[in-house]
Amino acid sequence: MRRLAVVGRDDPRLARLRSATAGGERGARGGRRVPGRSRSVKRPPSPPRGTRGTGDLSSGAFGARPARGRATPWLVLAALLVGALSFRAPFLSVAPIADDIRDDLGLGSAQIGLLTTIPVLCFGLSAPWATALVRRVGFDVALLVALATVTAGLAVRSAGPWASVLAGSVVIGLGITVGNIVAPAIIRRETTPRHQAVVTSGYTGTMNIGAMAATLSVAPLAAWLGWRWALSAWALVSLLAMVAWFTTLRPRRATVPAARSARHEPSEDPAAPAPPSGTPATSARPVRRTAVGWLLALAFAGQVSAYYSVAAWLPQILRDDAGLSQSRAGAVTSWFQVLAIAGALLLSVALRTVSWGGVTAGIAALWLACPIVLLLGPELHLLAATLGGLAQGAGLTALFVLIMRVSESDQRAAEYSAFMQGTGYVLSAATPFAVGALHEATSGWRWPLLLVIAYLLVFTATQLAAVRRIAARRAQPTAPSLSEPDGAAS
């Protein structure tokens, strides 16, 4: 058997062990290096109270633990999606019951067209006012104001004679303008770059779902309750969105995501800290002085002109030329709206294998087939609505992807987006009115559909020209290819 050595109290080996143990404890407490031990690691300072768990993300970002005193990002985004239901439906719900409004108020087709023209015109003309409001009150209160304004506009539009209907349409347009400006900023604040594309797709898809639900339900409601109650019923949805959003209003810390702060990019949130002093300002030319900016604005104008013209008058076209009932025409129009979601998804798949020129040509072919089929064979209205629905969703999404391709930074992308949408909406605001006036002057839908084809030709030509210019710019050795896979917008 092995003999066990007995260590006495005065043994020198035990003295050395005691000395090393005591020195290690003192070194660990003091944070200094001790001979015979590895370098001690000091604990990092604790984060400010109420921000633990957020890491290097903005406080409360989707995918991170929310700061104390803030609503969960899931709740914020869910409330925003409920609000998105009211950002397209209020003015598209007029078309399925245009006959009822016209007969009750003694209006013409041109006047009915104003009900869809005015909100679109507000999107362009009231953008400076909406931007000033957002800067003054911040994102959260601005969205609450937007939903309250839409709710009030819906009530005013259904309350009185033609003047009240007109005034209510203006109020609705102002509210939707604020919502359109502030919603992308809230999505960017509440999500990490990894989730921004998914949440943005959900937001735009929800707007299309709201438009579909409105066009599908307004005709039966009008037959049951009358057109005034049918139009004002959507105020319940915007009121629900107000309540949902109000529950998320908590004191929010003003923070900037680490990635954006590292690039010295300014945050759009008025409450966010200013960028570091000495940050160089951009030397790029204003977007309004660039050829690509104008090409994208004209393409957006052609896309939006065709979309709103078809969305506003498709029910009437189907009743007059295809002999459909009011409810059936509303159902086909709803199908046209909901297919925009599928069109956006198909675009992301197509860009992986098809060139931008091929994608643009494919969108143009689908879009042009819609009015051509309605013109030559209105009995094939379901095919026309299917092709047009896919094309309008893909066309709008393609324009926003092109903005990401041409922009050197997030701030530059915002400039392109603001110019494209503001200019495009102003140029396209009168298109539903023009289609209605042309129908009233010709007592038919041939010339109005030819006008829609002209809008689509403008969209196709200018988008192809923009694609060529962007491709030429990205062909430089230091620039990535135009056909690179899409990434999450930061």
Q: What is the 8-class DSSP label of residue 379? A: G
Average pLDDT over residues 117-127: 78
- Strand, coil or helix: 236: helix
Question: How far apart, in whole angstroms, are the C-alpha atoms of residue 296 and residue 22?
Answer: 73
289, 439 contact by CB (below 8 A): no
Buried b / exposed e over 309-328, threshold 16 CB at 10 Å, is: bbbbbbbbbbbbbbebebbb
What pLDDT, in 10s, does the model give residues 86-97? 888 887 788 788
- In the chain, the amino acid numbered 84 is A
- Ranges assigned E (strand) in 47-97: none
What pLDDT, in 10s, does the model give residues 359-417? 899 999 999 999 999 999 999 999 999 999 999 988 887 887 787 677 776 556 666 77
Can you read off the two tokens belonging to residue 310?
């078809």
Question: How far apart, in whole angstroms, are the C-alpha atoms of residue 148 and residue 172?
Answer: 10
Contact partners, residue 121, CB within 8 Å, separation at least 6: 173, 425, 426, 429, 430
> Which sign, positive or negative, has the C-alpha torsion 126, 131, 134, 140?
positive
**Which pLDDT value is given to residue 150?**
93
Per-residue confidence band for 476, with pLDDT thresholds at 50, 70 and 90: low
Q: pLDDT: is 331 or 185 the higher one?
A: 331
Q: pLDDT: is 76 or 24 the higher one?
A: 76
Per-residue confidence band for 481, with pLDDT thresholds at 50, 70 and 90: low
Per-residue confidence band for 58, with pLDDT thresholds at 50, 70 and 90: very low
Q: Would the pLDDT of 66 be above 70? A: no
Q: pLDDT: is 72 or 275 the higher one?
A: 72
Question: How far apart, in whole angstroms, are the C-alpha atoms of residue 473 and residue 128?
Answer: 31
Average pLDDT over residues 220-230: 90
Average pLDDT over residues 442-470: 94
User: For residue 472, what are the CA distances in angstroms to 172, 405, 477?
Assistant: 42, 12, 11
**Which pLDDT value is given to residue 47?**
43
**Which pLDDT value is given to residue 134?**
75
Average pLDDT over residues 211-234: 87
Can you read off the two tokens belonging to residue 414?
């915002």
Domain range summary for the chain, segments of one domain joined by + = 67-253, 284-490
On average, the pLDDT of the chain sits at 75
Q: pLDDT: is 201 or 338 the higher one?
A: 338
Domain 67-253: CATH class, spelled out: mainly alpha
What pLDDT, in 10s, does the model give residues 271-310? 344 444 333 344 468 878 899 999 999 999 999 999 989 9
Can you read off the two tokens belonging to residue 110?
């041109």
400, 271 contact by CB (below 8 A): no
Per-residue confidence band for 207, with pLDDT thresholds at 50, 70 and 90: confident
85, 240 contact by CB (below 8 A): no
Torsions phi, psi of 191, nearest 5? Answer: -125, 155
> Which sign, positive or negative, has the C-alpha torsion 370, 372, 378, 379?
negative
Q: pLDDT: is 397 or 315 the higher one?
A: 315
Q: Which homologous superfamily is 284-490 in?
A: MFS general substrate transporter like domains (1.20.1250.20)
**Which pLDDT value is given to residue 452?**
95
Q: Would the pLDDT of 34 be above 60? A: no
**Which pLDDT value is given to residue 36?**
46
Can you read off the two tokens belonging to residue 438?
């042309």
Q: Give yes or no on whether 67-253 and 284-490 have one common fold.
A: yes
179-183, 236-240, 319-323: least confidently modelled range:
179-183
Question: If phi over 0 gives left and psi between -120 and 50 gives alpha, with beta otherwise, what is residue 160?
Answer: beta
245-254, 343-352, 424-433: least confidently modelled range:
245-254
Per-residue confidence band for 198, with pLDDT thresholds at 50, 70 and 90: low
47-56, 67-76, 423-432: least confidently modelled range:
47-56
Per 3-state DSSP, what percentage of the chain is helix, strand, and coil (rounded to 5)? 70, 0, 30
Q: Would the pLDDT of 154 be above 60? A: yes
Contact partners, residue 489, CB within 8 Å, separation at least 6: 188, 193, 196, 197, 200, 404, 410, 413
Can you read off the two tokens belonging to residue 195?
């989730």
Q: What is the 8-class DSSP label of residue 191? A: B
